[in-house]
Amino acid sequence: MLVCFRQSHEAGIIIMPILRMMNPRHREAMGLAEGHTAVFVGCLLLSAPVFGYLGDRHSRKVTLSLGILLWSGAGLSSSFISPRYSWLFFLSRGVVGTGTASYSTTAPTVLGDLFVRDQRTRVLAIFYICIPVGSGLGYVLGSAVTELTGNWRWALRIMPCLEAVALILLIVLVPDPPRGAAEKQGVVTVGGPRSTWCEDVRYLGRNWSFVGSTLGVTAMAFVTGALGFWAPKFLFEARVVHGLQLPCFREPCNSQDSLIFGVLTVVTGLVGVILGAEASRRYKKVNPRAEPLICAASLLAAAPCLYLALILAPTTLLASYVFLALGELLLSCNWAVVADILLSVVVPRCRGTAEALQITVGHILGDAGSPYLTGLISSALRAARPDSYLQRFLSLQQSFLCCAFVIALGGGCFLLTALHLERDQAQAQARQTGIPDSKDVHSEAMESQCLLPSTGASPEDP
């Protein structure tokens, strides 16, 4: 539920109507929107490693509560900011990004310590369902609340009330289990001195399953970032090309494409996360490499779907919508499965750091730059062509094609993960229980990268 609320703040469609009301000139409003996104992502990237470090060493319940207070307080206070002080709105978005980082890095590790095997897969599915739901609700909320109340500020005032309820439920109902509690059931574990952050990062950099899945997540983030920013505009211009919508040469334009795309994201996200988690749970019974193979298959299938959605848009709009929905469905299949991969190949002591690094890399190389890159390619193509609405549409369509290639590369990264998954899972389990893994005995880097000493260890602290 909290991820749903967080993603509602992240969705750009909430910020766009706000900025357009604060400044009627669309070009300047677009610049402000890009600036707000940059501030949000920048603060999230700077904060994620810090909260990952804290989440591995201190009370995770306190970390989660702090994050909720930060982003809900920033969201509520930003609704009272006067247009004359737009810099304060930038600041509030940065605080929201900081609060988001605390939750994104810590919450999955708590679930990993409460549940194991099939239970973990199902719980992560429920948890990650809230990502597409929240993202889609962000589009719906930004349009619906503004239209009902005539004031965009109420979209930012409703959410903190719900988040306050969620904070109370977190404090009262959610336990803070010892790290690795799920894996330790019935197992005598050993431990030693706590590793440093640099040692954790070194260990993760040599964990090929973590590296491969992180690159796959980055490809997913690249595509979802570009789609979230440009898909509503692409759908609007496609309807103009088909004569279903009058051209719009001056912003703001009255369009329902953001609402349509939001509903599409919610529905495909719900179905996709459930399908992916259930397929993973069942396939793992016959193939231990099921998780990365499912991720690879879904991305490799999503690439042609996205390609066909773009290519068919000038010819048949219905087919374009169908393939776009299929592409989003296949992308959504991976969210819970990827989290399950991370929890299974990383030792509990540095899962928070692993989550933080995955988030940081995914944002820096993924959705932080993909909207700008897509727009840059579109502008370059349009500059070399006659100035017409059709050419504007074709330029945006062709700039989107890079997303199909990126998502196919992501599928390849998950295939790489499948090659190393079983070995990395065995090593993580061996380090957790203190039993040396046979494949590590002759590794010269074992002692420098191992988080738990193999001999002479004292009982692990809880």
What is the DSSP annotation of 151-217?
A: -THHHHHHHHHHHHHHHHHHHHH---PPTTTTTTTT----B-SPPPHHHHHHHHHT-HHHHHHHHHH
Q: Return the minimum-mean-pLDDT range out of 2-6, 140-144, 350-354, 368-372.
A: 2-6
Residue 250 scores a pLDDT above 90: no
Q: Tell me what the mean pLDDT of segment 275-283 comes to.
A: 91
pLDDT value at position 77? 86
CA proximity to 218, closest of 40, 408, 358, 121: 358
> Band of the pLDDT at 129, cuts 50, 70, 90?
confident
DSSP structural state of residue 458: B
Phi, psi of 315 (to 5 degrees): -100, -55
User: Comparing 456 with 216, which gets the higher pLDDT?
Assistant: 216
pLDDT value at position 183? 62
Residue 37 scores a pLDDT above 80: no
Query: Which CATH code is given to the segment(s) 2-449?
Result: 1.20.1250.20
pLDDT value at position 19? 41
Q: Return the minimum-mean-pLDDT range out of 58-62, 117-121, 219-223, 252-256.
A: 252-256
> Band of the pLDDT at 136, cuts 50, 70, 90?
low
Q: How far apart are CA 433 and CA 277, in angstroms?
A: 28
User: Any residues with CB less than 8 A from the CB of 76 and at least 6 apart, and which?
Assistant: 156, 157, 160
pLDDT value at position 35? 59
Residue 317 scores a pLDDT above 80: yes
User: Comparing 147 with 449, which gets the higher pLDDT?
Assistant: 147
Q: Are 120 and 182 in contact (CB under 8 A)?
A: yes
Q: What is the largest CA-CA distance in the chain?
A: 75
Residue 182 scores a pLDDT above 50: yes
Phi, psi of 206 (to 5 degrees): -100, 5
pLDDT value at position 404? 93
pLDDT value at position 201? 92
Residue 141 scores a pLDDT above 60: yes
Please report, rounded to a whole number, the percentage of residues in the chain having pLDDT higher than 70.
Answer: 78
Half-sphere exposure of 386 (CA within 13 A, CB side): 3
For residue 456, is it left (φ>0), alpha (ψ between -120 and 50) or beta?
left
Number of other CB atoms surrounding residue 423 within 10 Å: 16
Q: What is the mean pLDDT of the chain?
A: 79
* pTM for the whole structure: 0.77
pLDDT value at position 12? 39
> Band of the pLDDT at 368, cuts 50, 70, 90?
confident
User: Any residues with CB less than 8 A from the CB of 355 and at least 6 apart, and which?
Assistant: 48, 52, 55, 104, 105, 106, 108, 109, 342
Q: Report the alpha-carbon angle 214-215-221, nearest 5.
A: 90
> Band of the pLDDT at 432, cuts 50, 70, 90?
low
Q: Which alpha helices (H) appear in 25-85, and where do they start and end?
A: 26-57, 60-78
- For the record, the structure tokens of 61 come out as 């319940």
pLDDT value at position 298? 96
